[in-house]
Structure 1
């Protein structure tokens, strides 16, 4: 049985909850039924001893959840029973095989990401007699059911088990919180494979293993009659394992198909650095050269300039929202000699780039980036593209423009009304006037279909993304956050870019659109 000493030790080692956006520590409220992030004032409720740290919060105009003939937990359990019956597998045996891949020590701290009703909980608890298990899911209903079921079967269990509502794309845990992370089922529906894997990697300690298993019919069987029938029955069976989304530090990668070749299982160990290769070791033979010299020669043959492009040296990415001084910044950078990829929502390359960002085609975005030195507005600002940019171009400089939230919102509405004319500030009017990419970004990335009716959601997205950017670049020398609505001059910008100050006034484009006093703290 669990002793008081074991319980106290487990509580001391348990991962602390953090804000899912800023990763700042949370404090328990005085009433004991909520967690509070002191700086932003964000509040998260605790119900039945389960913290609801889901971000973003569900909205009234979110797509309506499917309707079922029974409660959601019963639907999930019936689907699992059908799946293992149809594909001929033993659920306990399969979960055991997958959990084996975690290489768990008895005192490990483990995250079950998207745990559902807790189908893996008893298996994990048995492997962790002195450990801690954190179960998270997007559905508070499934969590409550799972917690109730496992509590009723807790006789003899010594593993401390914590239940928490969480979005897999915004995990409410600090970096390096877990020895291992598991995700069985659900991954295909996270919405952003690269971000989901990045989040799991972030919270896993060096040396820990991550295991991802979900529906995905084996590629060599998909074009058979049976394969086409299986995918027709369940479109999730067409999903590929997220191999391309693995981080640079992934090591000992393993991939196999299970359960009648209908379930992939991908796992890897989190290393401390990417693999080391001696790219300057000379080859033997007539061709000679090294990996580096051969690559540079190939690039020269293709006509690519050797100017540090791979690391982004000399490039400037402006990652502030539209209507935060981005047009003024475009003009300023042009006057400083940069070839700027201008951010008008009606030019061809901007619409093209926004569509690429919505569909996650970063390879094609990188092709466009080759042709310019500086970049502003959507999709470089106002989206989470900064996460990929900072990894892909580590030597680039990042400029974050911001302003107070209310004036920003008014300026956005002014722009929409100008585009819509008599039709008002609607996204459909923006689309009809040529702002195809911008309207798609607001709808699909910001998750907002009506900026007028959804003011609170607009402001929340604006503030959350700004806070996430500041947290991501905290302490980086190649990052500058600047409020261009507050009497801007050249000195701060030129000092950051290492350029002389021009003998002319700083450009101030589009003045008077929703302008109001702003502070750095407002954006955070």
Structure 2
């Protein structure tokens, strides 16, 4: 049995769906930017599962909570960038702010290149740290993977039995592939054009957009 479960993937990779799944499994789950919460905070004593945030200090979490499981949710690079852009534009449309919106609006092209670089380096750090520890890390794409296969992999990784009627939730479907923008949010095609340009600006081939990990 695990101590705690830490979802250490970036936001916009299905973290809300993971949170909903944990709740459906009867686990105490916290969904929020816990990557900024000190490990000494009493919050950690009250929950079994944690999701959402950005670059997590997974070595510190590993040392502080031995016997825990780590799940790196990820998705295609191009889909992830597009989802982040749509998220920023949605927050703009409702008058909400936040660090990601501020970074993007200060320079969209520079922000996209920074996101690409951060993701690659972070994924590489995760890969190196957990090398040889397959029982402790699950890398999974629940946004683009087959639902029942993803669910089976998660349950198997955590050592939990399947339950009748249990399904992998789909939270925030508006942000998924094929979503149609509405209101002040730009079209899918316009967002994809920005993503393609960001890949070129970063010196990456178009095929790099399909990269999931690292």
The TM-score range, normalised by the shorter chain, is 0.7 to 0.9
**Residue matched to 1:515:** 177
Kindly state the Cα deviation for residue 511 of structure 1 after the two structures are TM-superposed: 2.2
* Contact 1:480–1:496 under 8 Å retained in 2: yes
Q: Higher strand proportion, which one?
A: 1
Determine whether 1:323 maps to 2:12.
Answer: yes
1:13 corresponds in structure 2 to none
Return the match for 2:114 from 429, 447, 457.
457
Counterparts of 2:75 and 2:138 in 1: how far apart (Å)?
Answer: 14
Residue equivalent to 2:198: none
Q: Larger radius of gyration, structure 1 or 2?
A: 1
- Give the match for residue 371 of structure 1: 46
Query: 1:309-458 alignment to 2 at 5 Å?
Result: 313-343=2-32, 350=33, 353=34, 356-357=36-37, 361-364=38-41, 367-378=42-53, 382-421=54-93, 430-431=96-97, 435=98, 439=99, 450=106, 452-454=108-110, 455-458=112-115
**Which residue is equivalent to 2:183?**
none
Shift of 1:519: 9.5
Q: CA contact under 8 A between 1:342 and 1:375: conserved in structure 2? A: yes
Q: Is the 8 A contact 1:408 1:514 kept in 2?
A: no
Other structure's SS at 1:363 match: coil
Normalised TM-score (structure 1): 0.32
Counterpart Cα distance in 2 of 1:430 and 1:467: 32
2: CA distance, partners of 1:483 / 1:461:
18
Distance (Å, rounded) in 1 between the aligned partners of 2:140 and 2:78: 17
**5+ residue gaps in structure 2?**
179-207
Structure 1 CA distance, aligned partners of 2:108 and 2:170?
27
Q: 1:488 aligns with which of 118, 126, 147?
A: 147
Q: Deviations over 1:312-364 (max 9, x none)?
A: 94311000111101111111111111111022xxxxxx4xx45x45xxx4423
The secondary structure found in structure 1 opposite 2:79 is helix
Q: CA deviation at 1:456?
A: 1.1
Seen in structure 2, the aligned counterparts of structure 1 residues 457 and 339 have a Cα distance that, compared at 3 Å, is: same
Structure 1 residues 329 and 368 mapped into 2: Cα distance closer, same or farther (>3 Å)?
Answer: same
The one-character-per-residue Cα deviations of 1:223-272 (angstroms, maximum 9, x if unpaired) are xxxxxxxxxxxxxxxxxxxxxxxxxxxxxxxxxxxxxxxxxxxxxxxxxx
TM superposition shift of 1:384 = 3.5
Higher relative contact order (CA 8 A, sep 6+): 2
Alignment length (residue pairs): 180
Is the Cα–Cα contact under 8 Å of residues 31 and 50 in structure 2 kept in the other structure? yes
**Structure 1 residues 440 and 323: CA distance shift in structure 2, 3 A:** closer
Deviations 1:431-460 (A, max 9, x none): 3xxx4xxx28986xxxx7736232111111
What is the distance in 2 between the residues matched to 1:391 and 1:449?
37
Alignment of 1:4-43 (within 5 A): none
Q: Distance in 1 between matches of 2:146 and 2:12?
A: 16
Please give the alpha-carbon distance, in whole angstroms, between the structure 1 residues aligned to 2:96 and 2:100. Answer: 10
Alpha carbons of 1:395 and 1:441: their partners in 2 closer, same or farther (altered >3 Å)? farther
Structure with the largest fraction of helix: 2
TM superposition shift of 1:507: 1.2
Aligned-residue CA RMSD (Å)? 2.9
- Please, what TM-score do these two structures have when normalized by structure 2? 0.73
Query: What is the deviation of 1:480?
Result: 0.7
Counterparts in 2 of 1:362 and 1:323: CA distance versus 1, 3 Å = same
Q: Secondary structure at the match of 2:71?
A: strand
SS in 2 for 1:370: helix
Compared CA separation, residues 462 and 441, structure 1 to 2 (3 A): farther
Q: 1:406 to 1:395 in 2, by over 3 A?
A: same
- For 2:173 and 2:26, the matched residues in 1 are separated by 23
